[in-house]
Structure 1
Amino acid sequence: MSFALNEVIEIYGEGTVLAIGGAVIGMLFGFFAQRSKFCLRAAVIDFWHGHFKDKLSIWLLAFSAAVIGTQALVLWGGLDSSGARQIAARGSLSGAMVGGLMFGVGMILTRGCASRLLILSANGNLRALLSGLIFAVVAQSSLSGALMPARLAISEWSTLDGGPGRDLLAMAGVGHATGLAIGVLCLVMAIYFVSRSTSKPVMLWVGGIGTGLSVAAAWGFTQWVAKNSFEPIQIQGLTFSGPSAEWLMRVLQSPAPKIGFEFGLLPGVFLGSFLGAMAGSEFKLEGFKDGYSMRRYIAGAVLMGFGSMLAGGCAIGAGVTGGAIFALTAWVTLVGMWLGAGLTDRWLDSPANHRHP
């Protein structure tokens, strides 16, 4: 298999191979996430409302599958997680927490995280499409535009060097077998919550687990290409903030950035979600109901765009992809997202404060 991959890379180049892999894995993620209604926002709301059933179960199934699949790859020798950007590069605890809080607030306002906006856009949701475009603009501005100084300033409040100091397993003095065990524990919790559901749809299981395994597949595929590449390749998992900003610049500037895994990811997710919507007869054009809704979605997209770049990833990129390799800043970001989203939902969307449709 490695010899065959070497030949393919030599003929078509690393970028093309990575882009094709990104498209295939993206299609799987998009299809499974669409069919299972995977959504961190929905899981957070159910958690804070004490409803430990379907929506929380789907997220836990996906997260546990990502952790189990990723840690199994490390134990098998198919992934060196120490080379991942979330562990090897210099990180920011302040950026992770502040960015996570901002992202959590934003995903309540837009009624979906970055990946969910892309999936809903493919289902005909024009609110999600506009929010996703604004998200990409703000993410790019935060990366290398007008908002970059603010991002860098907040990031410098509390930093940590790359290496074992960003690896929770290394900090705890345990190995990847423990990481695998934690994933199994999360899976047991998910199964328990699923057992409490009255509907128990098969797609809840298949879609949730498939979504999580797509995250592990991205890690494994990029590591596979990196091992067989003639050029140094940065291994990476699924994320949507960086690819969104990259696709924006691909449309606006010339020459465009080089193609790679992220080039195929977003179109793949869009197509997979579209196929899922068509399979379930769920494609439907939807727009804004009123001016309040538009203002809410725009504000949420701005917060998510800045927050994701500040935190080093979105709900998938930091929360699940980074969480699956036990990157410290990823788990801090995830905590921030759950707190920010929970507090915002209670303040803005509780029955006592709910005044708008």
Structure 2
Amino acid sequence: MDIVEIIESIGEGPAAALFGIVTGIIFGVAAQRSNFCLRAATVEFARGKLGQKVAIWFLTFSTAVVWVQGAQMLGLFRGIDSRVMSVPGSWSGAIIGGLMFGAGMVMARGCSGRLLVLASTGNLRSVVSGLIFAVTAQMSLKGILAPYRDTLASLWITGSENVSLLNLLHLPEWAGLALGVATAALALFLAVRNKLSAKVLVFASGVGFAVAVGWVLTWQLAQVAFDPVPVSSVTFSGPSANTLMFFLDRNAVLEFDVGLVPGVVIGAFLSSMLSREFAWQAFDSVPIMRRSMIGAVLMGFGAMLAGGCAIGNGVTGGSVFAATAWLALFCMWVGAMTTDYLLDQRNLSPAAAC
């Protein structure tokens, strides 16, 4: 059954939601089995290590770039049509929002995508933080925080559309795939040096593959749909807010974003049950809970200001070489490493900090 037949059978909105569920399940399974987490990678790097967490992140990132750029060269997808490239980008939002998000994910002990995966495996800490993240994201999108987000985002914008990093650096189109292959080589080197198992290699790569699946499915749907369909993929700032409102607003419509979040929950839950890793967990203390809640607020506002979360900017936006996404990713690393140094490393013994 092709996309046209799916649309004729269930309609455009349900088809988009179905594609979101499929993409989310792939992401949820792969992220749960690989323990993919940008926060863990930044903390490991900040403490002077190029260990397993860094290797896993580079595997995911490079796989996404290779699959997405390869799909583009085969005519299965066009990055220029993506939502992140077709709207104005914000340099100031990427910087300020990226720093806020990076600080928040260290405080909450996980980025928004990681919190969703952990919540699906019985981690009640992540349930609380994830809900606060979603509410704050919605407040930043259309609520009381929206004017502040708009003011900060408008300080420095790219123009009528976002900017391609490849065009900005005057590089040919094939340079994106070449960079992805080079990054993959680095990732494999780190993986071998850190003795990552074949299972982790496959599932870490699967997270990046999920990003490519989302891009291709939504682009293909946009080509045949009667109504405009946003070309998007895996991110958890907008989708978390949209999914929350879908269950609160009877007039909300089905779309890719609404299917993505439940798909991740289903995938991560089933994966944790099959691997016998599902376990109920709660906050250990009030200070930890307070810190996580503050971190979730910083992530919610920061993600909406930066135009995406650690996945949305760091992997999805990065895979189509949106310049603001790369800037936001860099600032997330800076914010996370600085926060880890100020809040956590100072409380470690010299041996533990190494």
- TM-score when normalising by structure 1: 0.95
* Counterpart secondary structure, 1:117: helix
* Counterpart secondary structure, 1:252: coil
Contact 2:40 2:53 in 1 (8 A): yes
- Does 1:308 pair with 2:303? yes
Q: Which stretches in structure 1 are left out of the alignment for 5+ residues?
A: none
Match of 1:342 in 2: 337
Match of 1:174 in 2: 171
User: Which runs of structure 2 are paired with 1:270-281 in the superposition (5 Å)?
Assistant: 270-281=265-276
- Does 1:189 pair with 2:186? yes
- Inter-partner Cα distance in structure 1 for 2:35 and 2:80: 32
* Counterpart secondary structure, 1:26: helix
User: Which runs of structure 2 are paired with 1:1-357 in the superposition (5 Å)?
Assistant: 4-163=2-161, 166-198=163-195, 200-255=196-251, 257-352=252-347
- Inter-partner Cα distance in structure 2 for 1:283 and 1:207: 18
**AA of the residue aligned to 1:307:** G
* Counterpart secondary structure, 1:21: helix
**AA of the residue aligned to 2:190:** F
**AA of the residue aligned to 1:188:** A
- Inter-partner Cα distance in structure 2 for 1:162 and 1:191: 39
- Inter-partner Cα distance in structure 1 for 2:344 and 2:199: 29
**AA of the residue aligned to 1:245:** A
Shift of 1:201: 1.5
- Inter-partner Cα distance in structure 2 for 1:235 and 1:43: 29
CA spacing shift, 1:41–1:247, aligned 2, 3 Å: same
- Inter-partner Cα distance in structure 1 for 2:308 and 2:230: 16
Q: Deviations over 1:176-201 (max 9, x none)?
A: 21000000111011011111114x21
Shift of 1:351: 4.6
Contact 2:246 2:253 in 1 (8 A): no
Count of matched residue pairs: 349
Contact 2:29 2:267 in 1 (8 A): yes
* Counterpart secondary structure, 1:68: helix
- Inter-partner Cα distance in structure 1 for 2:41 and 2:341: 14
- Inter-partner Cα distance in structure 1 for 2:6 and 2:318: 32
Q: Deviations over 1:118-162 (max 9, x none)?
A: 000011100000000000110000001000111011111111114
- Inter-partner Cα distance in structure 2 for 1:12 and 1:251: 20
- Inter-partner Cα distance in structure 1 for 2:13 and 2:271: 28
- Inter-partner Cα distance in structure 1 for 2:22 and 2:294: 32
**Percentage identity across paired residues of the two chains:** 45
Shift of 1:88: 1.5
**AA of the residue aligned to 1:214:** A
**AA of the residue aligned to 1:258:** V
- Inter-partner Cα distance in structure 1 for 2:204 and 2:274: 17
CA spacing shift, 1:128–1:173, aligned 2, 3 Å: same
Shift of 1:353: 6.2
Q: CA RMSD in A?
A: 1.3
Contact 1:74 1:176 in 2 (8 A): no
- Inter-partner Cα distance in structure 1 for 2:33 and 2:244: 27
Shift of 1:10: 2.3
Which 10-residue stretch deviates more, 154-163 or 186-195? Answer: 154-163
* Counterpart secondary structure, 1:349: helix
Structure 1 stretches of 4+ moved >4 Å: none
* Counterpart secondary structure, 2:245: helix
- Inter-partner Cα distance in structure 1 for 2:89 and 2:71: 24
**AA of the residue aligned to 1:161:** G
Q: Which stretches in structure 2 are left out of the alignment for 5+ residues?
A: 350-354
Contact 2:246 2:258 in 1 (8 A): no
Contact 1:238 1:316 in 2 (8 A): yes
* Counterpart secondary structure, 1:141: helix
* Counterpart secondary structure, 1:350: helix
- Inter-partner Cα distance in structure 2 for 1:229 and 1:28: 24
**AA of the residue aligned to 2:215:** W
Contact 1:87 1:162 in 2 (8 A): no
Which 10-residue stretch deviates more, 134-143 or 220-229? Answer: 220-229
- TM-score when normalising by structure 2: 0.96
Shift of 1:80: 1.3
